Structure 1
Amino acid sequence: MSGNHNHHEHSGDSLVKAARNALVEAGEQWTEMRADVFGALAERERPASAYDLAESVSSLRGKRVAPNSVYRILDLFVRTNLARRVESANAYVANSHPGCQHDCIFLICDSCGQAVHIDDDKLTGALIAAARNAGFADVRPVVELRGICAQCS
Protein backbone atom coordinates (compact mmCIF):
# COMPACT_ATOMS: atom_id res chain seq x y z
CA MET A 1 0.00 0.00 0.00
CA SER A 2 1.39 3.33 -0.89
CA GLY A 3 0.44 6.92 -0.21
CA ASN A 4 -2.98 8.30 -0.79
CA HIS A 5 -5.59 6.49 -2.78
CA ASN A 6 -6.69 8.02 -6.09
CA HIS A 7 -10.21 7.51 -7.40
CA HIS A 8 -13.02 9.35 -9.13
CA GLU A 9 -15.31 11.29 -6.80
CA HIS A 10 -18.94 11.16 -7.95
CA SER A 11 -21.75 13.60 -7.22
CA GLY A 12 -25.35 14.18 -8.30
CA ASP A 13 -26.67 11.84 -10.99
CA SER A 14 -23.20 10.36 -11.50
CA LEU A 15 -23.12 9.29 -7.83
CA VAL A 16 -26.58 7.69 -8.02
CA LYS A 17 -25.59 5.81 -11.19
CA ALA A 18 -22.30 4.62 -9.61
CA ALA A 19 -24.17 3.51 -6.47
CA ARG A 20 -26.80 1.64 -8.49
CA ASN A 21 -24.08 -0.10 -10.55
CA ALA A 22 -22.10 -1.06 -7.43
CA LEU A 23 -25.20 -2.48 -5.72
CA VAL A 24 -26.22 -4.51 -8.77
CA GLU A 25 -22.63 -5.78 -9.17
CA ALA A 26 -22.84 -6.93 -5.53
CA GLY A 27 -25.83 -9.09 -6.52
CA GLU A 28 -28.48 -6.85 -4.94
CA GLN A 29 -31.48 -5.11 -6.47
CA TRP A 30 -31.73 -1.32 -6.86
CA THR A 31 -35.34 -0.90 -5.71
CA GLU A 32 -37.33 2.32 -5.65
CA MET A 33 -37.10 2.43 -1.84
CA ARG A 34 -33.33 1.90 -1.89
CA ALA A 35 -33.04 4.61 -4.54
CA ASP A 36 -35.07 7.00 -2.38
CA VAL A 37 -32.96 6.32 0.72
CA PHE A 38 -29.71 6.70 -1.21
CA GLY A 39 -30.97 9.92 -2.82
CA ALA A 40 -31.91 11.36 0.57
CA LEU A 41 -28.50 10.40 1.96
CA ALA A 42 -26.53 11.69 -1.04
CA GLU A 43 -28.14 15.14 -0.93
CA ARG A 44 -27.08 15.71 2.70
CA GLU A 45 -24.05 17.84 3.43
CA ARG A 46 -23.70 16.40 6.94
CA PRO A 47 -23.95 12.85 8.30
CA ALA A 48 -27.60 11.79 8.62
CA SER A 49 -29.29 9.42 11.04
CA ALA A 50 -31.74 6.75 9.94
CA TYR A 51 -34.48 8.86 11.57
CA ASP A 52 -33.49 11.93 9.50
CA LEU A 53 -33.56 9.83 6.34
CA ALA A 54 -36.88 8.18 7.27
CA GLU A 55 -38.42 11.66 7.59
CA SER A 56 -37.03 12.76 4.21
CA VAL A 57 -38.19 9.59 2.44
CA SER A 58 -41.60 9.78 4.17
CA SER A 59 -42.05 13.33 2.86
CA LEU A 60 -40.94 12.29 -0.62
CA ARG A 61 -43.27 9.29 -0.73
CA GLY A 62 -46.21 10.96 1.04
CA LYS A 63 -46.47 8.12 3.54
CA ARG A 64 -44.64 7.12 6.69
CA VAL A 65 -41.46 5.11 6.25
CA ALA A 66 -40.26 3.31 9.39
CA PRO A 67 -36.72 4.07 10.58
CA ASN A 68 -36.17 0.28 10.94
CA SER A 69 -36.66 -0.11 7.19
CA VAL A 70 -34.14 2.65 6.59
CA TYR A 71 -31.66 1.03 9.01
CA ARG A 72 -31.84 -2.25 7.06
CA ILE A 73 -31.17 -0.41 3.81
CA LEU A 74 -28.30 1.57 5.38
CA ASP A 75 -26.76 -1.67 6.67
CA LEU A 76 -26.91 -3.02 3.11
CA PHE A 77 -25.35 0.20 1.78
CA VAL A 78 -22.49 -0.03 4.29
CA ARG A 79 -21.89 -3.74 3.44
CA THR A 80 -21.82 -2.95 -0.28
CA ASN A 81 -19.67 0.22 0.08
CA LEU A 82 -22.38 2.69 -0.98
CA ALA A 83 -22.33 4.44 2.40
CA ARG A 84 -20.08 4.86 5.41
CA ARG A 85 -21.19 4.87 9.03
CA VAL A 86 -19.82 7.65 11.21
CA GLU A 87 -19.68 5.60 14.40
CA SER A 88 -19.34 8.43 16.92
CA ALA A 89 -22.40 10.21 15.52
CA ASN A 90 -24.49 7.09 14.79
CA ALA A 91 -25.02 8.62 11.36
CA TYR A 92 -24.26 7.86 7.73
CA VAL A 93 -22.73 9.54 4.69
CA ALA A 94 -22.92 8.52 1.06
CA ASN A 95 -19.66 7.11 -0.29
CA SER A 96 -18.67 9.37 -3.20
CA HIS A 97 -16.76 6.50 -4.83
CA PRO A 98 -18.92 3.39 -4.28
CA GLY A 99 -17.02 1.14 -6.70
CA CYS A 100 -13.76 1.61 -4.80
CA GLN A 101 -12.84 -0.52 -1.78
CA HIS A 102 -10.62 1.13 0.80
CA ASP A 103 -10.68 2.39 4.34
CA CYS A 104 -11.78 5.92 5.18
CA ILE A 105 -10.76 8.42 7.77
CA PHE A 106 -13.36 10.93 8.96
CA LEU A 107 -12.55 14.38 10.33
CA ILE A 108 -15.61 15.49 12.33
CA CYS A 109 -16.25 19.07 13.44
CA ASP A 110 -17.40 19.30 17.06
CA SER A 111 -19.03 22.66 16.30
CA CYS A 112 -21.07 22.19 13.10
CA GLY A 113 -21.08 18.40 12.73
CA GLN A 114 -19.51 18.36 9.27
CA ALA A 115 -17.71 15.11 8.43
CA VAL A 116 -14.88 15.35 5.93
CA HIS A 117 -13.68 12.08 4.45
CA ILE A 118 -10.02 11.62 3.60
CA ASP A 119 -8.09 8.63 2.31
CA ASP A 120 -4.64 7.65 3.46
CA ASP A 121 -3.93 4.04 2.58
CA LYS A 122 -0.48 4.29 4.17
CA LEU A 123 -2.03 5.15 7.54
CA THR A 124 -4.88 2.64 7.39
CA GLY A 125 -2.46 0.03 6.05
CA ALA A 126 -0.28 0.53 9.15
CA LEU A 127 -3.35 0.05 11.36
CA ILE A 128 -4.29 -3.15 9.53
CA ALA A 129 -0.72 -4.45 9.83
CA ALA A 130 -0.68 -3.70 13.58
CA ALA A 131 -4.00 -5.55 14.02
CA ARG A 132 -2.76 -8.55 12.02
CA ASN A 133 0.41 -8.62 14.13
CA ALA A 134 -1.88 -8.83 17.17
CA GLY A 135 -3.64 -11.85 15.64
CA PHE A 136 -6.72 -10.19 14.12
CA ALA A 137 -8.12 -11.07 10.68
CA ASP A 138 -10.57 -9.32 8.34
CA VAL A 139 -9.69 -5.94 9.84
CA ARG A 140 -11.54 -2.81 8.61
CA PRO A 141 -10.26 0.35 10.28
CA VAL A 142 -12.81 2.85 11.52
CA VAL A 143 -10.88 6.07 12.05
CA GLU A 144 -12.60 9.22 13.28
CA LEU A 145 -10.81 12.35 14.38
CA ARG A 146 -12.76 15.10 16.13
CA GLY A 147 -11.86 18.78 16.13
CA ILE A 148 -12.98 22.12 14.74
CA CYS A 149 -13.21 22.64 10.97
CA ALA A 150 -11.69 25.58 9.13
CA GLN A 151 -15.08 27.34 8.77
CA CYS A 152 -15.78 27.16 12.52
CA SER A 153 -12.31 27.99 13.82
Structure 2
Amino acid sequence: MAAHHHHHEHHGADLTRAAQTTLEKSGEQWTVMRERVFEALAGFDKPASAYDIAEAVSKLEGRRVAANSVYRILDLFVGANLARRVESANAYVANAHPDCLHDCIFLVCDACGQTTHIDDDAITKTVRAAARGAGFSPERPVIEVRGKCADCD
Protein backbone atom coordinates (compact mmCIF):
# COMPACT_ATOMS: atom_id res chain seq x y z
CA MET A 1 0.00 0.00 0.00
CA ALA A 2 1.45 3.38 -1.04
CA ALA A 3 1.93 6.00 1.62
CA HIS A 4 0.42 8.98 -0.14
CA HIS A 5 0.42 12.20 1.80
CA HIS A 6 -2.64 14.40 1.54
CA HIS A 7 -2.24 18.12 2.00
CA HIS A 8 -3.82 21.38 0.98
CA GLU A 9 -2.69 22.53 -2.44
CA HIS A 10 -2.66 26.30 -2.81
CA HIS A 11 -3.61 28.17 -5.99
CA GLY A 12 -3.45 31.77 -7.21
CA ALA A 13 -3.10 34.48 -4.59
CA ASP A 14 -3.37 31.85 -1.84
CA LEU A 15 -0.30 30.08 -3.28
CA THR A 16 1.64 33.35 -3.38
CA ARG A 17 0.73 34.07 0.27
CA ALA A 18 1.76 30.53 1.30
CA ALA A 19 5.08 30.95 -0.55
CA GLN A 20 5.70 34.32 1.10
CA THR A 21 4.95 32.92 4.56
CA THR A 22 7.22 29.91 3.99
CA LEU A 23 10.08 32.07 2.69
CA GLU A 24 9.81 34.54 5.55
CA LYS A 25 9.74 31.69 8.10
CA SER A 26 13.08 30.55 6.63
CA GLY A 27 14.52 33.98 7.49
CA GLU A 28 14.49 35.41 3.96
CA GLN A 29 12.76 38.56 2.74
CA TRP A 30 9.88 38.49 0.27
CA THR A 31 10.88 41.22 -2.19
CA VAL A 32 8.94 42.59 -5.14
CA MET A 33 11.28 40.81 -7.58
CA ARG A 34 10.96 37.51 -5.73
CA GLU A 35 7.18 37.86 -5.82
CA ARG A 36 7.25 38.60 -9.56
CA VAL A 37 9.48 35.57 -10.23
CA PHE A 38 7.27 33.33 -8.11
CA GLU A 39 4.06 34.52 -9.76
CA ALA A 40 5.58 34.08 -13.22
CA LEU A 41 6.71 30.56 -12.32
CA ALA A 42 3.29 29.69 -10.88
CA GLY A 43 1.65 31.02 -14.05
CA PHE A 44 3.23 28.38 -16.28
CA ASP A 45 1.27 25.16 -16.82
CA LYS A 46 4.48 23.22 -17.56
CA PRO A 47 7.99 23.37 -16.11
CA ALA A 48 9.61 26.69 -16.99
CA SER A 49 13.26 27.52 -17.53
CA ALA A 50 14.91 30.53 -15.94
CA TYR A 51 14.88 32.11 -19.42
CA ASP A 52 11.11 31.58 -19.75
CA ILE A 53 10.59 33.18 -16.35
CA ALA A 54 13.00 36.06 -17.08
CA GLU A 55 11.09 36.79 -20.29
CA ALA A 56 7.73 36.78 -18.48
CA VAL A 57 9.02 39.05 -15.70
CA SER A 58 10.71 41.35 -18.26
CA LYS A 59 7.37 41.84 -20.04
CA LEU A 60 5.65 42.58 -16.75
CA GLU A 61 8.38 44.99 -15.59
CA GLY A 62 8.80 46.69 -18.96
CA ARG A 63 12.57 46.20 -18.67
CA ARG A 64 15.01 43.38 -19.26
CA VAL A 65 15.45 41.02 -16.31
CA ALA A 66 18.56 38.83 -16.57
CA ALA A 67 18.18 35.05 -16.42
CA ASN A 68 21.13 34.97 -13.96
CA SER A 69 19.08 36.99 -11.47
CA VAL A 70 16.16 34.61 -11.95
CA TYR A 71 18.45 31.58 -11.43
CA ARG A 72 19.59 32.97 -8.07
CA ILE A 73 15.99 33.48 -6.98
CA LEU A 74 14.99 30.01 -8.22
CA ASP A 75 17.87 28.45 -6.27
CA LEU A 76 16.59 30.25 -3.17
CA PHE A 77 13.04 29.03 -3.91
CA VAL A 78 14.19 25.41 -4.31
CA GLY A 79 16.10 25.61 -1.03
CA ALA A 80 13.05 27.07 0.73
CA ASN A 81 10.64 24.49 -0.80
CA LEU A 82 8.75 27.08 -2.88
CA ALA A 83 9.78 25.50 -6.18
CA ARG A 84 10.95 22.14 -7.47
CA ARG A 85 13.55 21.57 -10.15
CA VAL A 86 12.79 19.08 -12.91
CA GLU A 87 16.36 17.94 -13.38
CA SER A 88 16.09 16.38 -16.85
CA ALA A 89 14.48 19.52 -18.28
CA ASN A 90 16.57 22.08 -16.34
CA ALA A 91 13.24 23.68 -15.55
CA TYR A 92 11.18 24.55 -12.50
CA VAL A 93 7.65 24.20 -11.18
CA ALA A 94 6.02 26.08 -8.33
CA ASN A 95 5.41 23.89 -5.30
CA ALA A 96 1.63 23.95 -4.70
CA HIS A 97 2.21 23.06 -1.05
CA PRO A 98 5.32 24.99 0.07
CA ASP A 99 4.46 24.43 3.72
CA CYS A 100 4.99 20.66 3.36
CA LEU A 101 8.37 19.07 2.57
CA HIS A 102 8.64 15.88 0.51
CA ASP A 103 11.09 14.32 -1.89
CA CYS A 104 10.01 14.77 -5.50
CA ILE A 105 8.53 12.23 -7.84
CA PHE A 106 7.86 13.76 -11.26
CA LEU A 107 5.86 12.15 -14.05
CA VAL A 108 7.17 13.79 -17.24
CA CYS A 109 5.33 13.40 -20.55
CA ASP A 110 7.80 13.04 -23.42
CA ALA A 111 5.12 14.07 -25.94
CA CYS A 112 3.72 17.32 -24.50
CA GLY A 113 6.10 18.14 -21.64
CA GLN A 114 3.37 18.17 -19.00
CA THR A 115 4.89 17.35 -15.62
CA THR A 116 2.95 16.08 -12.63
CA HIS A 117 4.42 16.09 -9.14
CA ILE A 118 3.30 13.31 -6.82
CA ASP A 119 4.22 12.50 -3.25
CA ASP A 120 4.70 8.92 -2.13
CA ASP A 121 6.67 8.79 1.09
CA ALA A 122 7.00 4.99 0.98
CA ILE A 123 8.83 5.10 -2.36
CA THR A 124 11.13 7.96 -1.43
CA LYS A 125 11.86 6.42 1.98
CA THR A 126 12.94 3.23 0.20
CA VAL A 127 15.14 5.21 -2.22
CA ARG A 128 16.82 7.03 0.69
CA ALA A 129 17.36 3.72 2.54
CA ALA A 130 18.88 2.12 -0.58
CA ALA A 131 21.24 5.08 -0.98
CA ARG A 132 22.31 4.87 2.68
CA GLY A 133 22.78 1.10 2.27
CA ALA A 134 25.22 1.83 -0.55
CA GLY A 135 27.19 4.16 1.71
CA PHE A 136 25.70 7.30 0.15
CA SER A 137 24.14 10.22 2.04
CA PRO A 138 21.04 11.28 0.09
CA GLU A 139 20.57 15.05 0.20
CA ARG A 140 17.86 15.75 -2.33
CA PRO A 141 16.33 12.72 -4.04
CA VAL A 142 14.48 13.52 -7.24
CA ILE A 143 12.75 10.71 -9.10
CA GLU A 144 11.62 11.32 -12.68
CA VAL A 145 9.43 8.90 -14.58
CA ARG A 146 9.42 9.60 -18.32
CA GLY A 147 6.57 8.43 -20.52
CA LYS A 148 3.25 9.66 -21.86
CA CYS A 149 0.44 11.36 -19.95
CA ALA A 150 -3.17 10.21 -20.29
CA ASP A 151 -3.89 12.96 -22.86
CA CYS A 152 -1.04 11.86 -25.15
CA ASP A 153 -1.26 8.09 -24.67
TM-score in same-fold range (> 0.5) = yes
**Residue in 2 aligned with 1:118?**
118
RMSD: 1.0
Structure 2 gap segments, 5+ residues each: none
Which residue pairs with 2:104 in the alignment?
104
Q: Which residue of 2 aligns with 1:80?
A: 80
Q: Could you tell me whether the CA contact under 8 Å between 1:131 and 1:139 is conserved in 2?
A: no
Structure 1: gaps of 5 or more residues: none
> Identical aligned pairs, as a percentage?
65
Residue 32, structure 1, aligned to residue 32, structure 2: yes
Q: For residue 31 of structure 2, what is the amino acid of its counterpart?
A: T
* TM-score, length-scaled by structure 1: 0.97
Partner residue of 1:54?
54
Letter in structure 1 aligned against 2:125: G
Give the letter aligned to residue 115 of structure 1: T
SS at match of 1:72: helix
2:82–2:95 Cα contact (<8 Å) kept? yes
TM-score by length of 2: 0.97
Range with bigger deviation, 75-84 or 139-148: 139-148
Equivalent positions of 1:121-136 (< 5 A) are: 121-136=121-136
Aligned to 2:67: 67
1:22-57 per-residue CA deviation (whole Å, 9 max, x = no partner) reads: 000000000000000000000110000000000000
Can you list the C-alpha shifts for 1:45-79, whole angstroms capped at 9, x where unaligned? 00000000000000000000000000000000000
1:104-146 deviation digits (Å, cap 9, x = unpaired): 2000000110001111100000000111111222432110011
